[in-house]
Amino acid sequence: MEQVHPTRSELLKRKANRTLAEQGMNLLKRKRDALLAEFMPIIDETMRLSLRLERVTADAQFDLAMAKAKDGGPAVRSASYATQGEVLVDITGTHVMGVPIPVIRKGQSTMRSVLKRGYSITGVSSRVDSAAEKFEEIIDVIIESADIETRLRRLGEELRKTNRRVNALENIVIPDYDEQIKFIQMSLEERAREDIFRLKKVKKALERKEEARLERLKA
């Protein structure tokens, strides 16, 4: 416990500080609860996207293997070179309980029609089309996952930070103020008892002095 001067002004100051600390703790608890309410559904969504990405990736790898086996590696590579393009994303921002969070969205869908993939329609099989579609879907899921995982990470960091502050106030700061207040109150009470004891001694001394004076007057 830090050095405390046992005065009434210090007692009032410590009580005011404790009240502020308790109010801050209650506000942080409400913030923590609100963050948690936002956080839990995002965990579910992250797990859903993770499973979807795993499934789509497995399907894409299977279709690619089938296309290579049936149509030959050179034909698949030729189609992949022809269908190259760019992926556009829009990055903006939002706030959740005061926490800044990037928002990642597709600039345009990566899912394309057969006519827009760049290769000749008659030059490839449906197996190549299926593999291309699956890999385009993977890109869509990756972008969606990037957005939700960024949100999850930011909210998780803020949740841990808020929880640490709540614990510090609840387990360290407020109990420390309680000790200081108790110490000052005990010191003031002890001082008050000493003052009363001294006053009683002074009163008795004055009473004896008065009795002695009265005795002298009688004599």
pLDDT value, residue 51: 93
Three-state DSSP class for residue 123: helix
- Tokens of residue 193, six digits: 């008892």
Task: Flag whether pLDDT at 149 surpasses 80.
Answer: yes
Quickly count: other Cβ atoms within 10 Å of residue 27's Cβ. 11
Is this prediction's pTM over 0.75?
no
- Specify if 77 maps to a domain: yes
- Specify if 60 maps to a domain: yes
Task: Flag whether pLDDT at 110 surpasses 70.
Answer: no
- Specify if 136 maps to a domain: yes
- Specify if 208 maps to a domain: no
Residues 6 or more apart whose CB falls under 8 angstroms from that of 67 comprise 76, 125, 127, 128, 130, 131
The CATH number for 48's domain is 1.10.287.3240
pLDDT value, residue 108: 66
- Specify if 201 maps to a domain: no
